[in-house]
Structure 1
Amino acid sequence: MRVGPAGVFWLQLAPDTGAVRLWTLDQGVARPLSPPDYRIRSRINGYGGGALCLTADGPWVVREDTGQLERLHPRSGEPVPVTGSRGNATSERSRYGGLVADPGRGVLAVRERLSVTGEVLDQALVAIATDGTETVLRAGAAEDCLGAPAPSEDGRWLAWVQWRLPAMPWHQSTLWLAQREASGALRSPRALLPPRPASVQQPSWSGHRLCVLSDHQGWWQPYRVRAIGEGSQWSLLSGLRADHGNAPWQLAEQHHLGLPGGGWARVSYHRGEGQLWLASAPQARRRRLADGFTDFRCLQYHQGALYALASSDHRLQSLIRIDLVRDQLEVLAGGERPLTSVVRPQPFVLADAEVCGFFYPAVASANHPGGSHRDPITPPPLILQVHGGPTSAAYPVLNLATQFWCQQGFSVLDLNHRGSSGAGRAFRQALAGRWGELEVADCLAAVAQLVREGRAHPQRLFIQGRSAGGYTALMAMAGADCFRGAVSQFGVTDPRRLCAHTHRFESGYLDWLLGEDRDRWPERSPVNLAHRMTGPVLFFQGELDEVVVPAQTRAMAAAMARAGHDSEVVTFTDEGHGFRHRASQAAVLRRSLAFYRNRMAAT
């Protein structure tokens, strides 16, 4: 979402087609701007981010099928190509993301240069003028990743974040700063190092003040950073011991913002819930805004108002505007209530541990599987949902699939196991070398606690997850006999094979998760533990998946068959790593429901 003199623009997924389109406000009414067959998406680092920015000329976007930049007319939506002309072979082998407006010049972006076979060769920070002229500002070495370009308001300075593979950006990254010549070129770039190695993210400017989130004191907290002599000075702006951002899987996130007059707006996370806070001046007392929402992204400020994409636990994501003068909140788009009755999340905390999550109780009047309206199962069956990443998190926001399960008579637990983001650096780093062990132990402890509390039926426990969450579900099925079955959506089954085929961004991630001693990887590879599976597994796989390739899922199912264990593989020919089409998502729910009901009928 971006806001400026040209208007309010945001990207929105069309669930029937899986296409992302550009929307805008037209006399206060939301309408799609880009053509129906025009898809917008960045694939930088495989996960994208920053596919939209706004200049005085209107919105710039990344076109999904080419990875190139185009400008859309702010009224008609007519696209005008900017990069990737047929006469420019270099641009044709490149793709872009992390877009930000470059005041008075054009756009800044991260560019990935690709080989003929599609492998990423390197990344660079580039400036792109309106006529398509491209200038490389910072060329990274083969192992370098760049992101978060942040020009000062007067255009005289540029800050950005850089990290070197095999590190992930939430492990260790560096803040860089350079002056800019009149031409826009960088002069004297230098690294501004915090007192200790850290992950830094989201540099931004408020006047001449450079601010950034850094976790060198244990949490992603906001700091003002000054270059002093050969070193730098880092001044903590908030002593609140909380993460003020989440793991930067995508570029161009914005969870904190400087305001005119020295004030600020920030998101902070508390046991998974995002809270929005405001201070109107540097010494003003902070106050909470929009407390009916539970997560916030893409903070923007324009003409006395704060804008954000806000989520809640009972309605769809909203584009909100908060008038800071009148202290009034307005939902500009979204925010629909798709269900007349919504199951609200209950905070879950694992006894004697920092592990937490959100528990959604089954609807009491539902036709419980294995029971009936007159004789429901008590306590109800439970589905433990494991988030992906695994360096990601579960948030208390409306998830229609979770609501489906509750309406079908299942309780659901969304768990933030050790290794999740949002609970500080130590908690996030705890999974180093212990993936497949530590988070599995947290899953087992969580369901055991719910059983003891009488909130889950001990013979009706299931586990499901996507990608890394699918891996954890499979490892749990191989390591314990409490689950009656598992559902894996494009879950990792063979880390060694994944490592050989994964993209550049995650090329060293598995070494961090499983340890550099690869001789030990087989003992934490589900495909090698098929003989230990304690129940059947239902697999869902996209045939276009380039992260967890279809052959990996089929090999796991074949290994289970050889070991005498039941499994089923459901494939989607037009899906990749993540199911974007409404028909695919509905099919996953229908087939999973039948799978769980069959398992309960058999016990």
Structure 2
Amino acid sequence: MSDRTGWWNLYRLRDGVVTVVLPIDADCAPAPWEAGYQSYGFGPDGAVVLTVLDGFSTELVAVDPAGERRRLGPNLTSVKPYIAVDGSRLAVIGSTPSSAPGLWSLDLTAQADVSAVPLHADPESESAPPWTPVLPTIDTVLGGGGRVSYLLHRPAGASSSVPLLVRVHPGPTDDVPLRLDWTTQFFVSHGFAVAEVLHRGSTGRGRAFRQVLHGHWGEYDVEDCAVVAEHLRSTGVALTGAIFISGASAGGYTALQAAGHPGPFAGATAISAIIDPARWELSVPEFQRAHAAVLRGPAGAVTPDRIRCPVLVIHGSADTITFAEEAVQFVQDLAALGGDHDSLLLEDGDHYLSAPADREQALRAELDFYRRIMSRPRR
């Protein structure tokens, strides 16, 4: 896999000659900041199956030995970059805007485009919600670095301005999967619009777009999130004074940096957040350190004295990726300066808040935090 053309494409070495399997202006793999991906596989007839990303959706494409391509599983909009082939069957972790990630299977021997079928015994799987989610839209707005794309979820029947939550993906070189996300649905079900921003540095839009964040982490990502928030406020989607930003891990760093700048956000939530990129760089696995080093820039560590709006800090005490003690110290320093801040330390909670009880507690704390801010008298 190489991005020598500016896009992650798969290459074949045969008889000493290197050729591209599927020449396409799209990323056929995520950015390699994590290990263990398997974004391509081999069918029984010699076909190569690939994931093809655009930043929001992921397609499955099969390329036969003659170079002919066909799409697989057109009913899926998001596919994890883990492809498993067993004989004529392909298995993936896939999802749609109305179904959460689950195991899906496809028949590679089918002649026509074939839909994926869920791999579970009960047709009323828990991955299906008890209501019909409102499908999101993909929109763009012009920002300082060009057009910024985002996924927008609005509450059912919303005809006037509503509170807005801007969610920042982790990574920060991640994407915004077009899939059912329970955290997003939680806030939508409580009357919030949710915008998920594909800020500069995200995966799926090629190398130039991904690498533009190098040396500008905490700057360009913050700018793009603010541009989307201001646009949704000016167009009447978002309620002035009720615009919030939330992120986890690297997204938590972006949210905290946004809280330190003048802008549209009335509050920020940082979950399992990176607070000091220089310190975090020393803690990541060695193969990730070059990537962490090239990302960080003048924005530097988040310091309490720069925070300009209420902040909620949520962290697990057993987080092995970011530092609970750093988050606790940050909270204590914030409290010493005063302000309407809040925190939640989850005992034995991990980086991903994997335990259902931790996830529920965090969601309720975040919702209560926003409601408290919105209940304050407006100036």
TM-score, normalised with respect to structure 2: 0.90
1:424 aligns with 2:206: yes
User: Residue deviations 1:95-146, cap 9 Å, x none?
Assistant: xxxxxxxxxxxxxxxxxxxxxxxxxxxxxxxxxxxxxxxxxxxxxxxxxxxx
Which of residues 302, 324, 328 is equivalent to 2:108?
Answer: 324
RMSD: 2.2
1:466 aligns with 2:248: yes
For structure 2, list consecutive stretches of 5 or more residues without a partner in the other structure: none
Contact 1:293/1:312 (8 A) holds in 2: yes
Quick one: distance in 1 between partners of 2:269 and 2:104? 36
Q: 2:342 is matched by which residue type in structure 1?
A: E
Identity of aligned residues (%): 29
Which of residues 75, 97, 120 is equivalent to 1:292?
Answer: 75
Offset of 1:281 from its aligned partner?
4.5
1:544 aligns with 2:341: no
Change (3 A) 1:317 1:217: same
Offset of 1:460 from its aligned partner?
1.2
Contact 2:42/2:49 (8 A) holds in 1: yes
SS at match of 1:413: strand
Q: 1:275 is matched by which residue type in structure 2?
A: E
Change (3 A) 1:569 1:348: same
Quick one: distance in 1 between partners of 2:97 and 2:258? 28
Contact 1:498/1:548 (8 A) holds in 2: yes
Change (3 A) 1:289 1:534: same
- Larger Rg over CA atoms: 1
User: Residue deviations 1:200-254, cap 9 Å, x none?
Assistant: xxxxxxxxxxxxx2101100012112474xxxx4212222100011123443322
Quick one: distance in 2 between partners of 1:570 and 1:488? 10
Q: 2:165 is matched by which residue type in structure 1?
A: I
SS at match of 1:321: strand
Please identify, of 506-515 and 394-403, the stretch whose mean Cα deviation from structure 2 is larger. Answer: 506-515
| 1:225 match | 13
| 1:355 match | 148
Change (3 A) 1:475 1:414: same
Which of residues 504, 507, 514 is equivalent to 2:286?
Answer: 504
Contact 1:343/1:403 (8 A) holds in 2: no
Q: 2:78 is matched by which residue type in structure 1?
A: D
Contact 1:481/1:534 (8 A) holds in 2: no
Q: 1:445 is matched by which residue type in structure 2?
A: V
Contact 1:315/1:335 (8 A) holds in 2: no
Change (3 A) 1:601 1:360: same
Quick one: distance in 2 between partners of 1:252 and 1:500? 21
Contact 1:533/1:565 (8 A) holds in 2: no
Change (3 A) 1:407 1:259: same
Contact 1:244/1:269 (8 A) holds in 2: yes
| 1:343 match | 134
TM-score, normalised with respect to structure 1: 0.58
Give the alignment of 1:442-453 within 5 angstroms. 442-453=224-235
Contact 1:256/1:299 (8 A) holds in 2: yes
Please identify, of 563-572 and 435-444, the stretch whose mean Cα deviation from structure 2 is larger. Answer: 563-572
User: Residue deviations 1:500-539, cap 9 Å, x none?
Assistant: 5444344344421124xxxx5xx53212xx2232211111
Change (3 A) 1:274 1:409: same
Quick one: distance in 2 between partners of 1:572 and 1:243? 37
Q: 1:343 is matched by which residue type in structure 2?
A: V
Change (3 A) 1:335 1:252: farther
For these two proteins, the number of residue pairs brought into alignment is 367
Offset of 1:400 from its aligned partner?
0.7
Q: 1:293 is matched by which residue type in structure 2?
A: L
| 1:173 match | none
Which of residues 188, 191, 211 is equivalent to 1:406?
Answer: 188
Quick one: distance in 2 between partners of 1:568 and 1:453? 31
| 1:574 match | 348
Quick one: distance in 1 between partners of 2:147 and 2:36? 29
Quick one: distance in 2 between partners of 1:252 and 1:561? 41
Q: 1:270 is matched by which residue type in structure 2?
A: D
SS at match of 1:422: coil
Contact 2:33/2:288 (8 A) holds in 1: no
Offset of 1:582 from its aligned partner?
0.3
User: Residue deviations 1:422-474, cap 9 Å, x none?
Assistant: 11111111111111111111111111121222221222100000011011001
1:237 aligns with 2:21: yes
Structure with bigger RCO (C-alpha 8 Å, 6+ apart)? 2
| 1:513 match | 295
Offset of 1:354 from its aligned partner?
4.4
Which one has a larger percent strand, Structure 1 or Structure 2?
A: 1
Contact 2:43/2:108 (8 A) holds in 1: no
SS at match of 2:260: helix
| 1:136 match | none
Which of residues 53, 56, 62 is equivalent to 1:272?
Answer: 56
Quick one: distance in 1 between partners of 2:86 and 2:322? 42
Contact 2:29/2:39 (8 A) holds in 1: yes
SS at match of 2:27: coil
Quick one: distance in 2 between partners of 1:303 and 1:498? 43
SS at match of 1:458: strand
Quick one: distance in 1 between partners of 2:138 and 2:156? 17
Quick one: distance in 2 between partners of 1:309 and 1:250? 17
Q: 2:12 is matched by which residue type in structure 1?
A: R
Quick one: distance in 2 between partners of 1:281 and 1:503? 38
Contact 1:257/1:266 (8 A) holds in 2: yes
Quick one: distance in 1 between partners of 2:98 and 2:26? 25
Q: 2:173 is matched by which residue type in structure 1?
A: T
1:559 aligns with 2:333: yes
Q: 1:417 is matched by which residue type in structure 2?
A: H
For structure 1, list consecutive stretches of 5 or more residues without a partner in the other structure: 1-212, 366-375
Offset of 1:264 from its aligned partner?
2.4
Change (3 A) 1:337 1:349: same
1:315 aligns with 2:103: no
Offset of 1:384 from its aligned partner?
0.3
Which of residues 227, 235, 238 is equivalent to 1:456?
Answer: 238
Contact 1:319/1:335 (8 A) holds in 2: no
Change (3 A) 1:217 1:314: same
Change (3 A) 1:312 1:432: same
Change (3 A) 1:259 1:590: same
Q: Return structure 1 stretches of 4+ with deviation > 6 angstroms.
A: none
Which of residues 354, 359, 379 is equivalent to 1:585?
Answer: 359
Quick one: distance in 1 between partners of 2:339 and 2:290? 33
